Amino acid sequence: MHAVFRTVLERLGLGLATLFIVSIIIFSAIEMLPGDFGEAVLGQAATKETVAAFRRELGLDEPAYMRYAQWIGNVVQGDLGTSFSGRNASGIDRSRPVVDLIAPRLWNTLFLASMTAIIAVPIALALGITSALYRNSIYDRTVNTATLTTISFPEFFVAYILILLLASLWPVFPSLANVDAATPLAERMFKAALPAMTLTLVIVAHMMRMTRAAIINLLASPYIQMARLSGASQTEVIIKHALPNAWAPIATVITFNLAYLVVGVVVVEVVFVYPGVGQLMVDAVTSRDIPVVQGCALIFAMTYILLNLTADIIGIITNPRLLHPK
């Protein structure tokens, strides 16, 4: 078996094992959340017998290991369970499958992440390459200062600053990104502008600095010096010699930041009331909707692990020592 193919299979197996461990952590963490769904629905005036009967109806009276086995077995079959949110004390059950709740929200989150990536990746690559070319210049120091500033601020602070500047003092964009399935594409992009700008400012700094470091490291290599001595221009040195060897670390950094875009949007979605998976998860935690919390957390974990595996595989494929083993 080829070394690259074998390594990819090993990474996939490791990813599945990691996902299994993460599922245990998710289930255990949710078990330790304070409060109880039965008491939250029935109220403090409910008797212990009523709460116990309600918990028995939901299956919450079974041991934790049995509920985990049932949950993970259903997940393997594509069933994330049924939401508790449609149940009430009168016995009426209007609950919906968790998949039906997550699917439209996941589309909104992926749309926001894609919109941010389309803006952020080219900007980060351009800033990283030009900063490496003009190292220690005023331009380089200005870009580094700006990126360090954005890195030091948490997402919610950047979001509130943008709301203050672009939605309050100068009302250019709406402060609430309330979109739905019927929202046209242009209007959806307009309403998601501030969340996308917030995420862009956060991730551009990471990608730019890693790109700059990768290019600077390669520019000090002997083969780059030889290319310069042979009369190659600065543009040829970067495009023909440096970039082909820098794609592996750059692609890895980009993929890691894309994983953050999908998984780390919870705070941004809450600030802008954007109807994504992060907002759904926060609402589910507030209402003690255990199946929805578990489903959202598992979707986040699967996305992060999948994108990290993608970054790892890209690094393997772009490494000549693995592509041409002895």
Q: What pLDDT, in 10s, does the model give residues 105-152?
A: 888 988 998 899 899 889 988 888 888 888 888 998 998 888 888 888
Is 92 a residue whose pLDDT tops 60? no
Q: According to the model, what pLDDT value does residue 252 have? A: 77
Q: Give CATH superfamily name and number for 104-286.
A: MetI-like (1.10.3720.10)
**Are residues 295 and 80 in contact, defined by beta-carbon separation less than 8 angstroms?**
yes
**The two structure tokens encoding residue 203:** 């991730």
Q: Where in the chain is the domain with CATH 1.10.3720.10?
A: 104-286
- Per-residue model confidence as pLDDT tens digits over 39-77: 666 666 667 777 777 777 767 777 888 888 888 888 888
Q: According to the model, what pLDDT value does residue 45 have? A: 64
Please tell me the least confidently modeled range out of 237-241, 254-258, 263-267: 237-241
pTM higher than 0.85 for the full model?
Answer: no
Instruction: Give CA–CA dist 147/39, Å, rounded.
Output: 48
Is 196 a residue whose pLDDT tops 60? yes
Q: According to the model, what pLDDT value does residue 41 have? A: 64
Query: Binning pLDDT at 50, 70 and 90, where does residue 325 land?
Result: low
Burial of 55: CB neighbours in 10 Å, binned 0-12, 13-18, 19+ = middle
| Alpha helix ranges (H) inside the chain | 3-31, 37-42, 48-58, 64-76, 98-133, 138-152, 155-163, 185-191, 193-219, 222-229, 234-236, 243-263, 266-271, 277-286, 290-317, 320-323
Instruction: Give CA–CA dist 63/50, Å, rounded.
Output: 19
